[in-house]
């Protein structure tokens, strides 16, 4: 399997917030041969803390032997602007100060991320994407991209996302930011600061990703006589420790702000008007137990996008089900693409 990890340099990038980023680096993966299979390119827009190699984090859907096998359908994925896996973000050096941005990093929107995707697409010489797919914030990106550059993709697949970030999701994001700000090492902008705050933020996020049904299914204690030391306690702690080994607090803060910024209707006459201008064949997927982006939000997307179909995954794993229920998702996508 051919894997290329590369970079795109952008001298200057105008952001939606009005600021300009200089000397931007964009890290991306190309997995497979896009020249040999130019008509079957799959572009994956990654979720919140993922990287640009979906073979790592979307097993069962992407990789050799799965639905999107890079030997047949080459995969492209870009590490989003503001993240910390090679693309310019809060831990990058500000060329004006020669110090890391940290909390001075500007507000990044989903539209800024989409603009970066377009620049990578142009560098790779890709005329049209066969399947443009992403879950959660990845779904935000592909919707914005197709609106901003009509005809980008033949098939859109926004999964467990919405047309606009709800007050519910924004409140969850702010709760995570408050956790970060409660950590003095984060407020003081220490270079490795915010680790304790990030663990707490991750714990809050997991509740919204996994929900009651998932925890009650997977975190039951074997003993019915415990007074302390519950399995759910150790799980939350473990997940926080795991994240701080691969992600930093400043990039996490940036990403929460980007998540909150999502609004397809901003300065476009409203959400419905914006969605009505997306003409690509679209598969919208929801999960019946998702409490972060409930299925009524995906149904709304499908109703507003002219050439859209809605499909639903049944799962006890709530929002994270899009990463877990790969058999159901594969079946849904195959039916949509007439691959059965």
Residues 275, 250 share a domain: no
- Each residue of 30-51: b (16+ CB within 10 Å) or e? bbbebeebeebbbbbbbbbbbb
Q: Which of 29, 262, 319, 326 is catalytic?
A: 319
pTM, full prediction: 0.97
Instruction: Please identify, among 227, 258, 289, the residue that sits at the C-terminal boundary of a domain.
Output: 258
Contact at 8 Å (CB) between 298 and 263? Answer: no
Instruction: State the CATH number of the domain containing residue 205.
Output: 1.10.1740.110
* pLDDT, position 265: 98
Instruction: Please identify, among 209, 240, 258, the residue that sits at the C-terminal boundary of a domain.
Output: 258
* pLDDT, position 340: 72
Count Cβ atoms within 10 A of the Cβ of residue 95 and give its class: 0-12 exposed, 13-18 middle, 19 or more buried.
Answer: exposed
Residues 142, 120 share a domain: yes
Instruction: Please identify, among 203, 224, 258, the residue that sits at the C-terminal boundary of a domain.
Output: 258
Residues 178, 150 share a domain: no
If you average pLDDT over residues 169-198, what whole number do you get? 98
Residues 141, 196 share a domain: no
Of 12, 7, 47, 11, give the one whose Cα is nearest residue 30: 7
| Banded pLDDT at 139 (limits 50, 70, 90) | very high
Residues 272, 148 share a domain: yes
Structure tokens at 4: 């290329």
Q: In terms of residue numbers, what domain contains 254?
A: 169-258
**Whole-number Å distance between alpha carbons of 115 and 119:** 6
Residues 177, 157 share a domain: no
Mean pLDDT, the chain, integer: 97
Q: What contacts 17, CB < 8 A, 6 or more positions away?
A: 106, 107, 108, 109
Instruction: State the CATH number of the domain containing residue 10.
Output: 3.40.50.1820
Residues 110, 57 share a domain: yes
Q: Residues 37-57: pLDDT tens digits?
A: 999 999 999 999 999 999 999
Q: Which of 112, 183, 248, 290 is catalytic?
A: 290
**Whole-number Å distance between alpha carbons of 84 and 79:** 8
Q: Which of 52, 83, 109, 136 is catalytic?
A: 136
**Total domain count, the chain:** 2
| Banded pLDDT at 269 (limits 50, 70, 90) | very high
If you average pLDDT over residues 292-296, what whole number do you get? 98
Of 127, 28, 27, 33, give the one whose Cα is nearest residue 74: 33
Residues 210, 134 share a domain: no
Residues 140, 10 share a domain: yes
Residues 191, 120 share a domain: no
* pLDDT, position 1: 85
Active site residue 136: yes
Active site residue 319: yes
**Whole-number Å distance between alpha carbons of 143 and 298:** 12
Residues 231, 109 share a domain: no
Residues 225, 288 share a domain: no
């Amino acid at each position: 399997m051919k894997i290329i990890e590369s970079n795109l340099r952008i001298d200057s990038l105008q952001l939606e917030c009005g600021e300009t980023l200089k000397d931007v680096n964009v890290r991306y993966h190309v997995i497979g041969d896009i020249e040999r299979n130019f008509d079957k390119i799959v572009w994956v827009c990654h979720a919140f803390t993922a990287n640009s190699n979906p073979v790592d984090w979307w097993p069962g859907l992407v990789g050799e032997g799965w639905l999107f096998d890079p030997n047949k359908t080459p995969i492209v994925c870009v590490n989003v602007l503001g993240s910390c896996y090679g693309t310019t973000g809060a831990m990058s050096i500000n060329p004006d100060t020669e110090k890391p941005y940290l909390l001075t990093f500007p507000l990044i929107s989903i539209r800024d991320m989409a603009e970066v995707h377009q620049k990578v697409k142009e560098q790779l010489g890709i005329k049209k994407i066969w399947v443009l797919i992403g879950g959660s914030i990845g779904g935000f990106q592909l919707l914005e991209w197709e609106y901003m550059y009509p005809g980008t993709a033949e098939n859109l697949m926004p999964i467990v996302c919405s047309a606009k970030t709800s007050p519910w999701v924004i409140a969850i994001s702010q709760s995570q930011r408050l956790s970060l700000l409660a950590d003095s090492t984060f407020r003081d902008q220490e270079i490795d600061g915010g680790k304790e705050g990030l663990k707490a933020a991750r714990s809050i996020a997991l509740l919204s990703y996994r929900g009651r049904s998932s925890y009650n299914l997977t975190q039951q204690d074997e003993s019915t006589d415990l007074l302390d030391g519950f399995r759910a306690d150790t799980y939350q702690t473990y997940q926080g420790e795991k994240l701080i080994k691969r992600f930093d607090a400043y990039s996490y803060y940036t990403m929460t702000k980007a998540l909150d910024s999502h609004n397809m209707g901003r300065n476009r006459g409203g959400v419905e008007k914006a969605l009505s201008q997306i003409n690509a064949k679209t598969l919208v997927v929801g999960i019946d137990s998702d409490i972060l982006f409930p299925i009524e939000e995906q149904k709304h997307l499908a109703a507003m996008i002219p050439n859209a179909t809605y499909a639903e995954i049944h799962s006890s794993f709530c929002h994270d089900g899009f990463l877990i229920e790969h058999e159901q998702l594969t079946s849904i996508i195959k039916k949509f693409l007439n691959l059965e």
